Structure 1
Amino acid sequence: MPITEQQLLQILPNASHVAGVFVPALNTAMAQFGITTPLRMAAFLAQVGHESAHLAAVVENLNYSASALQATWPSRFPAALAAQVARKPEQIANIAYASRMGNGPPQTGDGWKFRGRGLIQITGWVNYQACGAALGLDLLNKPELLEQPVYAALSAAWFWQSNGLNALADNRKFEAITKRINGGLNGQADRMEIYARALEVLA
């Protein structure tokens, strides 16, 4: 049951400028990864809608202030360092994501190269490698492919299926889905709002 542009705009009203591009991309991705029932589609669209600011953002925004850096990554950004790199996204990424998720140390630039991309932010060398292998893409050399609507959607659907989120969606375990994507419950009110709309539209 593919989604129509009209349905997508009822679910994500702020996506009007990109809906036409994303409808075929989302339909292809959802069909390929088994996101094909109203329950699964509603949960998926709510999560990707929130994560991407209604399909507007397919690359992670790392333009943090010093105080936001300390709040988000307290162990990685002591006060002096936070002040030094505030509002410098590339430096922030290289420190925040250094020596994690398969990335090398800050000087390799891996943090910036493999920052969050796609509708569910794929982040880190290991995840780019796994996603690329699953989709048949060389994401280690061309990470920016995930900024294209078709691959932004496919990477999100791959992440969804490979993390067992269809089963959680079947059981309406929406909070558990958020935790698996986000690590916590950031933005849960907005996610729930979109989910409620999606369930209504797709019923």
Structure 2
Amino acid sequence: MTNFADKLIAVATLAAPHAAALEAACAEFDITAGRRAQMFLATCAHESGGFRYVRELWGPTDQQRKYEPPSKLAKGLGNTQIGDGRRFAGRGWIQVTGRDNVRRCSIALFGDDRLVQDPRWLETPEGAARSAGWFWSSNKLNALADAGDFIATQGVVNVGNKKATTTQIIGFPDRRRWFEKMVAAGL
């Protein structure tokens, strides 16, 4: 096991089977040690319930019902067909959600739209980690992490807005707790 894996597992034991894939994704997307890795891993930990879930829990809740067309949210996610809400529910450590986001992720990682045809790869250790790295990188979150702006990174992930306040960011205290753990572990 690597130093990275040992430290991550000490903070989040459920990450053990995924540590190698997370470490590879960090290298691939230049999410290097320090604030980048700490903020990225804290985000992954929060979004996945401590590395427990690689797929959004489906109720459907009132919010999840809005993933279905013809709602405004569905349109923004690119969900055009009945059933797209559930089919393109969040997957991966940072929960890639919606037909358009899955397509963008697929094109970035594979050069084609294979994940639109079958998004389940996003639930594999490699898929969960690489899609999270892709999301982090495509949203330029390394720059915010380098600036030490944890609130902005979480705003982009959770609200889609780097100017979001801690009260607008769902689960901010838990996100902060994970970040503090990653810092204490020396990741």
TM-score range, shorter chain: 0.7 to 0.9
1:93 Cα offset (Å): 4.8
Q: Deviations over 1:119-149 (max 9, x none)?
A: 0010111111110011116101111110001
Residue 147 of structure 2 corresponds to 171
Distance in 2 between residues matched to 1:11 and 1:185, nearest whole Å: 23
The answer (yes or no) to whether the contact 1:169–1:177 under 8 Å persists in 2 is: yes
SS at match of 1:140: helix
State the SS of the aligned residue for 2:117: coil
Identity of aligned residues (%): 36
Query: In 2 relative to 1, CA 3–155 (structure 1 residues): closer, same or farther, beyond 3 Å?
Result: farther
Which structure 2 residue ranges, 5 or more long, are not aligned? 160-167
2:99 to 101, 122, 125: 125
Cα distance in 1 for residues equivalent to 2:149 and 2:174: 16
Q: Which runs of 4+ in 1 moved over 4 A?
A: none
| TM-score for the superposition, normalised by structure 1 | 0.78
- Aligned AA for 1:121? Q
Partner of 1:9: 9
Deviation at 1:193, TM superposition (A): 1.1
1:99 match: secondary structure: helix
Partner amino acid, structure 2, of 1:160: W
For 1:166 and 1:130, how far apart are their aligned partners in 2? 19
Kept after mapping to 2: 8 A contact 1:3/1:27? no
The residue that corresponds to 2:130 in the other structure is 154
Count of matched residue pairs:
174
Partner of 1:85: none
Distance verdict in 2 for CA 1:25–1:38, change over 3 Å = same
Aligned partners of 2:173, 2:3: CA distance in 1, in Å? 24
**Could you say which structure has the larger radius of gyration?**
1
Q: Do structure 1's residue 191 and structure 2's residue 165 form an aligned pair?
A: no
Q: 1:55 to 1:3 in 2, by over 3 A?
A: farther
Does the aligned pair in 2 maintain the 1:10–1:197 contact within 8 Å? no
> Could you tell me how far 1:92 is from its partner in structure 2?
6.9
Q: Which runs of 5+ in 1 are unaligned?
A: 74-88
Please report the RMSD computed on the Cα atoms of aligned residues, expressed in angstroms.
Answer: 2.0
Within the candidate set 23, 28, 46, 1:27 is matched to: 23
Q: Residue 102 of structure 1: CA displacement?
A: 1.4
Secondary structure of 1:58's partner?
coil
8 Å CA contact 1:3–1:23 kept in 2: the answer is no
Aligned AA (1:58)? V
**C-alpha contact 2:51 2:93 (8 A) present in aligned 1:** yes
Could you tell me which amino acid in structure 2 is paired with residue 101 of structure 1?
L
